[in-house]
Amino acid sequence: MCVLYAVFIFSGAVCAHYLTGLVSAYLGVVEPRSVAGIGFLLGTFGGSLIAAITRAIKAADLWAFIRSKFGGGGT
C-alpha cells in the first residue's frame, strides 16, 4: 500500500512539473496564482490517473494474455 502512495506522489509531482507550463501557455494563463492552481490540479489528477493505471496493470493477468496471443496458450 505504501508503494501506491509513493507512485501517486511521484507521478503527481512529475505531471505537475512538466505539464503546468504547457497547459498554462495553451490556456493563456499568466497570473502566478492561477498557474499554481493549474499545477495543483494537474498534479492531483495526474497522480490519481497514473496510480489507477498502475493498479489496473497489477490486477490484470498480462502474462496469460501475452501467452494466449503469441503462442502457448491454446485458443
**DSSP secondary structure letters along 10-72:** HHHHHHHHHHHHHHHHHHT---HHHHHHHHHHHHHHHHHHHHHHHHHHHHS-HHHHHHHHSSS
pTM of the model: 0.66
Q: Residue 27: is its pLDDT beyond 80?
A: yes
Q: Residue 48: is its pLDDT beyond 80?
A: yes
pLDDT for 31 equals: 95
pLDDT for 5 equals: 82
Cβ atoms within 10 Å of 20's Cβ, excluding its own = 20
- Find out whether 48 and 17 touch, Cβ atoms under 8 Å: no
Cell numbers found for residue 35: 498557474
